[in-house]
């Protein structure tokens, strides 16, 4: 069971591609509601786990969808491996809150779903099978390949969804609150598993979450998103060694910092919302 080798050819490129993903000055607005987020710039390095943390309605999920190429920004650019991104990139993968397994396919076929699509890099059937088997083994589902989704628990279906993403050997894994529908124990298991497998697969991760502990446990870098329209309020580099449960003091300190920053955003937001009319992008806006 070998994890995919680091791709030496791509590692040696120029500095611009050292980042898997870079987004400059993104804004987004849905047609019917106001601006969702504004002037957001994000870079994600190779193998970096970035957590986008924020309360509900701050636009973090929409930001993820824009970065993943599922939605088009109103302004700004997204580039993936140095190329402008217009569609979901074959070297990226997504995991959502719902596992969204297809009930008419067994576990194996769910995990390999999409690998043979036209816009995916062509791989031989035998290589595809090997990849899927390896991904399923990595998430602890070896031997359950023939099971139907209906026979699995919530945690197991999310494992299949993770395997489906890993089988694509992604350069970057987008995860939108992937564990928030799970019970606390399963969630902790899955958080550990996520860190383990993305390290083995040499993938970078953008994890959207509203769970501060989840962000602290898995992230290399935490971006706090807040405001209406949303923007990146603060960020922290997390250099606590894994497993982080063993470093309670450092974890608690960071936790308090993040909580304080969160409180500042909500306290700061309330008066401005009451005093000023809807914030509009103007040249004076800092």
Partner 1 sequence: MRMFAPLILPVFGLGLAGALWAVATLLLATDTPILANFAPVEALRAFLRLVADPLMWEHIGVSLQRVAVGLVVALAVGVPMGILTGVSRAFAQTTTPLFQFLRMISPLSWMPIAVMVLGVGDAPVYFLLAFAAVWPILLNTSAGVAQLDRNWLMLARSLSATRFETIFRVVLPGIVAHILSGVRLAIGIIWIILVPAEMLGVSAGLGYFILDARDRLAYPDLMAAILIIGALGFALDYAARWLYQHWLHKR
Separation between Cα atoms, residue 212 and residue 73, nearest integer Å: 27
Nearer CB in complex with partner 1: 141/167: 167
Compute the least distance from the CB of residue 257 to partner 1, in Å. 34
Question: Token pair of 238, please?
Answer: 């997390």
C-alpha to C-alpha distances, 128 to 111, 116, 119, 154, nearest whole angstrom: 10, 9, 15, 26
Name the one range near partner 1 by CB under 8 A: 89-97, 137-145, 244-252, 255-263.
89-97
Name the one range near partner 1 by CB under 8 A: 55-63, 82-90, 130-138, 211-219.
82-90
Nearer CB in complex with partner 1: 174/236: 174
Separation between Cα atoms, residue 73 and residue 94, nearest integer Å: 18
Nearer CB in complex with partner 1: 122/278: 122
Tokens 């969804």 appear where?
161
Binding partner 1 (rule: CB under 8 A), the pick from 76, 90, 140, 154 is 90
Say if CB 216 and CB 244 are below 8 A apart.
Answer: yes
Binding partner 1 (rule: CB under 8 A), the pick from 11, 70, 127, 259 is 70
Compute the least distance from the CB of residue 149 to partner 1, in Å. 8
Nearer CB in complex with partner 1: 78/93: 93
Q: Is 17 one of the binding residues for partner 1 (CB under 8 A)?
A: no
Name the one range near partner 1 by CB under 8 A: 90-98, 191-199, 230-238, 256-264.
90-98
Q: How many other C-beta atoms can be found within 10 angstroms of the C-beta atom of residue 136?
A: 26
Say if CB 162 and CB 156 are below 8 A apart.
Answer: no
The site that binds partner 1 (CB under 8 A) totals a number of residues, namely 21
Name the one range near partner 1 by CB under 8 A: 51-59, 94-102, 188-196, 233-241.
94-102
Relative to beta strand 35-45, strand 19-29 is antiparallel
Q: Which of residues 99-158 bind partner 1 (CB under 8 A)?
A: 100, 102-104, 113-114, 117-120, 148, 150
Binding partner 1 (rule: CB under 8 A), the pick from 79, 98, 235, 257 is 98
Q: Is 96 one of the binding residues for partner 1 (CB under 8 A)?
A: yes
User: Which residues in this chain contact partner 1 in the complex, by CB under 8 A?
Assistant: 68, 70, 87-88, 90, 93-94, 96, 98, 100, 102-104, 113-114, 117-120, 148, 150
């Amino acid at each position: 069971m070998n994890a995919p080798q680091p791709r030496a050819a791509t590692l040696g490129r120029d500095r611009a591609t050292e980042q898997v993903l870079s987004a400059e000055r993104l804004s987004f607005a849905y047609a019917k509601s106001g601006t969702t987020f504004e002037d957001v710039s994000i870079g994600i390095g190779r193998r970096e786990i970035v957590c986008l943390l924020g309360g509900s309605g701050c636009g973090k999920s929409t930001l993820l969808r824009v970065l993943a190429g599922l939605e088009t920004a109103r302004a700004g650019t997204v580039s993936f491996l140095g190329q402008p991104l217009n569609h979901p990139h074959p070297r990226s993968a997504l995991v959502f809150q719902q596992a969204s397994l297809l009930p008419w396919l067994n576990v194996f076929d769910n995990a390999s779903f999409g690998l043979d699509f036209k816009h995916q890099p062509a791989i031989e059937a035998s290589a595809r099978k090997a990849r899927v088997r390896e991904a399923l083994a990595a998430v602890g589902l070896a031997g359950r390949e023939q099971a139907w989704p209906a026979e699995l628990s919530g945690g197991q279906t999310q494992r299949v969804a993770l395997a489906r993403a890993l089988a694509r050997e992604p350069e970057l894994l987008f995860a939108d609150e992937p564990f928030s529908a799970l019970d606390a124990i399963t969630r902790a298991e899955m958080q550990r598993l996520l860190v383990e497998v993305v390290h083995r697969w040499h993938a970078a991760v953008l994890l959207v979450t509203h769970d501060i502990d989840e962000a602290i446990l898995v992230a290399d870098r935490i971006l706090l998103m807040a405001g209406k329209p949303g923007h990146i309020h603060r960020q922290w580099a997390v250099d606590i060694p894994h497993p982080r449960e063993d470093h309670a003091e450092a974890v608690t300190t960071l936790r308090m910092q993040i909580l304080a920053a969160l409180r500042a955003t909500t306290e700061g937001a309330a008066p401005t919302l009451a005093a000023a009319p809807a914030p509009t992008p103007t040249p004076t806006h800092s």
